[in-house]
Amino acid sequence: MTKAISDAFGEDAISRFLKADGAYAYVDVTGTESLLLEGFDIPAMLLLTARELEENAGKESPLPIVQAVTHHGFARLLEAFASKNPKPHLPPTYTDATGTHPVPVLSPQMFSEPKRHISRSRTGTFPVKGAYYHPRKGYVAKLTADLLDVRMTEDVQREVIEHPISAFAKDAVWFEGTLALEEDGVWSTQPGGRITHQPELVS
């Protein structure tokens, strides 16, 4: 909840403290670069965000929350207060110069988002950044600029270990073919892949 408040109002604008009747966060946006400006109608924005979330959740294919609401920070703030059964809880409120305003309490279902599609294969030419032996994965190559761990087939393994370490540092060794994410969560080179290199850089 603390992080959600900081995301919405800015870390420098928040002072947090406890009282016997609850937890409080004092927001001062003077001189900050938070998403809130002087005169910003925060209660209205909270209500707008709650309505946008409810409308999005009611769609057959909900949009990602960042696309569905006007201000993403307020959506995360409301998510921090979401509850399957809000009645037993002390209701959250926002207080400003105009008075005390209730903060909408939504159900967690209002924050559901479409599942992200995770590609289970990648085809192309990838730089080999290094290789090592892993007790569970076997011989593993570090591929791409992200240093992705990839389990090698025996033929690819033989080709990789023939190169000096200096060749990997020079981006002289590349894997050309398909990588697939296996059931055990490990990426592996697929049959038909091969190692290519730039001879002038291999020394």
Q: Does residue 173 surpass a pLDDT of 50?
A: yes
User: Can you give the pLDDT at residue 148?
Assistant: 82
User: For all residues of the chain together, what is the average pLDDT?
Assistant: 76
In tens, the pLDDT along 108-141 reads 889 887 765 556 888 999 988 888 887 777 788 8
For residue 50, what pLDDT is reported?
A: 94
DSSP state of 42: H
Helix (H) or strand (E) holding 93: strand 93-96
Where do the structural domains in the chain lie, given as residue ranges? 2-111, 121-201
pLDDT, residue 32, reads 43
Contact 143, 188 (CB under 8 A): no
CA-nearest of 170, 188, 171 to 179 is 188
pTM of the entire predicted model: 0.47
Q: What is the pLDDT of residues 51-105, one digit of tens each?
A: 999 999 988 888 888 888 887 778 888 888 887 555 656 678 887 778 888 888 8
- CA pair distance 184, 203, nearest whole angstrom: 36
Report how far residue 150's alpha carbon sits from residue 157's, in angstroms, rounded to the nearest whole number.
11
